[in-house]
Amino acid sequence: MARLPFNQQVRQAREDAIVDAVNRQLAGKGFDLMTMDEVASEVGIAKASLYKHFDSKEALAAAAMKRLLGRAQAELDRIEAQGLPTPLARLEAVVRWTMRVQLDGEMPSLPSQNSSLRAALMADMAYLGQLMAVSERLGHWITEAQSQGQITTAVPAEVVLYTLFARACDPVLGVLKAGGHAPDQVIEWVMATTFGGLATR
């Protein structure tokens, strides 16, 4: 594969550094509190230079989400290649990974109610394509697990999917970690409530 011209390599490296900074800002303080000034300052560039790469906070958030979805797709590939014996085991593996990313401070935090951000994401075809690819693969594993009796069919597959997605932004993880509990223990507790519920057995 031909290498990119030097100026394009420099531009790509700068955009990677910007998205790294955005991801840290989104994970640490969330979209509403993140500012273009803070991102530019963290990267060490002028705000005007930042706007040459991304024209808005919404575009920055979309770039962070596309990177995250790319990581998720790679993780799904890795999990599938492991040859785990059941679809439930694959789902459990991806939820563990999701929670680990959040506990490591690498999960962007986006508001669920923000019309400008939602509009920007819905207009981004690359983002939508990645989101659909991840959702479809997880949806297939969910329906497979339901058909094999590993997950209840009393809950629609779509609800199960959203429940698993919710672990990516579950505040319980951070609360338990801040309370002094080890990340591995936090993950196991939340895994138990996610897949086993709270009823006694």
Per the model's pLDDT, the better-predicted residue between 175 and 200 turns out to be 175
At residue 201, the pLDDT reads: 57
Work out the angle at residue 160's Cα, subtended by the Cα atoms of residues 158 and 166, and round it to the nearest 5 degrees. Answer: 105
Domains annotated for the chain, with CATH where assigned, are 57-196 (1.10.357.10)
Which single residue is written with the structure tokens 């459990």?
92
DSSP state of 58: H
Q: What are the CB-based long-range contacts (under 8 Å, 24+) for 6-13?
A: 11/53
Task: Categorize the per-residue pLDDT at 2 as very low, low, confident or very high, splitting at 50, 70 and 90.
Answer: low
At residue 136, the pLDDT reads: 97
Q: What percent of the chain has pLDDT over 90?
A: 70
| Residues 6 or more apart in contact with residue 178 via CB below 8 angstroms | none
- Dmax of the chain from CA atoms? 62
Question: What is the Cα Rg of the chain in Å?
Answer: 19
Kindly report, residue by residue over 7-46, the tens digit of the pLDDT.
777 777 888 899 999 998 998 888 989 999 999 999 999 8
3-state secondary structure 114-170: CHHHHHHHHCCHHHHHHHHHHHHHHHHHHHHHHHCCCCCCCCCHHHHHHHHHHHHHC
Query: What average pLDDT does this structure show over 97-101?
Result: 96
CB 18 within 8 A of CB 53: yes
Q: Which of 117, 125, 95 is nearest to 107 (CA)?
A: 95
Q: Count CA atoms closer than 13 A to 178's CA, side-chain side.
A: 6
Task: Categorize the per-residue pLDDT at 1 as very low, low, confident or very high, splitting at 50, 70 and 90.
Answer: low
